């Protein structure tokens, strides 16, 4: 086997409840992840580029597609870190070439970097014939980042702790979405810092986060209308302050019939729940025509996590 290609989905947070900041700087979260049909593909091959072409790194990375120029190619790329982590565990050389085809927005609040790291773990594990146990891959994923484990499993799940401790959630049927892509991105760290600043400024007393019962009931029934009414993101106010045009985007989606609207994760992508596939298609067209986003992409969920396609 000289190359392996893995497809991996984006995520939207149906609920993102952020607890008080801990001593280690992180926050305890309740994070209801939902994998949607916007996919990146990562191909790992055993034909690495010459060291001079990859900056001296044993991992050579090329990126194409959505906002490819914004993706780092060095050791700050989570996919590169995934290669190195798996190679250390396997006791082998990390020499590999990665080709990443982007469709998930970069710095858009949909965990594209985490998705690529998860896909890289699966691709290199298959390329190298390691047969790493699922629990071990999940442990590696959690070390790489809070959103990486979910990208491995997909579907719908509740994440607790920093988001890395996952429990699957039963979902009836399929939900239809539109994702409005903004110009530029937002730093997750900046959005969390702004959330903390807002809470301090307003004297908000933040309790321990918990899963919303209404959200779980709506998912179990496959009730899109009920789900739209309970979508919630504690980071949304901070994201709106850091990227003020998002308020107009959210308003436009509601005006055009979205069942629910929220900023996805730390933003700036906005997510809109539609009542059908046809409604999602028309809603995307309406958002683009209104000029409130760079692009609007229909999608559906839940979908599976990282999996080999070639």
Residue identified by tokens 């401790």 is 165
Portion of the chain with pLDDT greater than 90, in percent: 84
Map residue 148 onto helix, strand or coil: helix
CA diameter of the chain:
58
- Confidence grade of residue 53 (pLDDT, cut at 50, 70, 90): very low
> Which domains occur in the chain, in start order?
3-170+304-308 (3.30.230.10), 175-300 (3.30.70.890)
The pair of structure tokens assigned to 235 is 């980071």
Would the pLDDT of 55 be above 90? no
| 125, 147, 232, 234: the active-site residue | 147
Q: Please count the other Cβ atoms lying within 10 Å of the Cβ belonging to residue 136.
A: 14
Map residue 135 onto helix, strand or coil: helix
Whether the pTM exceeds 0.85: the reply is: yes
Would the pLDDT of 114 be above 80? yes
| 11, 40, 102, 234: the active-site residue | 11
Q: What is the pLDDT of residue 52?
A: 47
| 110 and 103 Cβ atoms separated by less than 8 Å | no
Binding site membership: which residues? Answer: 105-115
**Residues 263-278 pLDDT 10s:** 999 999 999 999 999 9
Distance CA 284, CA 274 (A): 10
- Is 102 an active-site residue? no
| 233 and 265 Cβ atoms separated by less than 8 Å | yes
Map residue 44 onto helix, strand or coil: strand
- Is 116 an active-site residue? no
| 102 and 141 Cβ atoms separated by less than 8 Å | no
Distance CA 30, CA 174 (A): 22
Map residue 238 onto helix, strand or coil: helix
């Amino acid at each position: 086997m000289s190359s392996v290609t893995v497809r991996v989905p984006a995520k939207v947070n149906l609920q993102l409840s952020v607890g008080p900041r801990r001593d280690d700087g992180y926050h305890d979260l309740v994070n209801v992840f939902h994998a949607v049909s916007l996919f990146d593909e990562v191909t790992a091959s055993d034909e690495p580029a010459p060291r001079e072409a990859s900056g001296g790194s044993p991992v050579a990375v090329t990126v194409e597609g959505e906002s490819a120029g914004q993706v780092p190619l060095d050791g700050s790329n989570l996919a590169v870190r995934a290669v190195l982590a798996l190679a250390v565990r396997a006791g082998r050389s990390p020499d590999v070439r990665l080709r990443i085809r982007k469709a998930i927005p970069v710095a858009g609040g949909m965990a594209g970097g985490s998705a690529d790291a998860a896909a890289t773990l699966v691709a290199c594990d298959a390329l190298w014939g390691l047969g790493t146990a699922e629990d071990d891959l999940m442990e590696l994923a959690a070390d790489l980042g809070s959103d990486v484990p979910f990208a491995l499993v997909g579907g719908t799940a509740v994440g607790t702790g920093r988001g890395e401790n996952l429990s699957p959630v039963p979902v009836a049927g399929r939900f239809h979405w539109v994702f409005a892509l903004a110009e530029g991105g937002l730093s997750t760290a900046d959005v969390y810092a702004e959330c903390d600043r807002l809470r301090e400024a307003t004297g908000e007393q933040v309790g321990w986060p918990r899963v919303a019962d209404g959200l779980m009931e709506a998912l179990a029934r496959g009730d899109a209308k009920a789900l739209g009414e309970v979508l919630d993101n504690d980071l949304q106010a901070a994201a709106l302050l850091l990227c003020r045009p998002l308020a107009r985007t959210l308003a436009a989606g509601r005006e055009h019939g979205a069942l629910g609207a929220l900023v996805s994760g730390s933003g700036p992508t906005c997510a809109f729940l539609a009542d059908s596939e046809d409604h999602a298609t028309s809603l995307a067209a309406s958002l683009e025509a209104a000029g409130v986003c760079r692009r609007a992409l229909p999608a559906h969920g839940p979908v599976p996590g990282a999996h080999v396609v070639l």
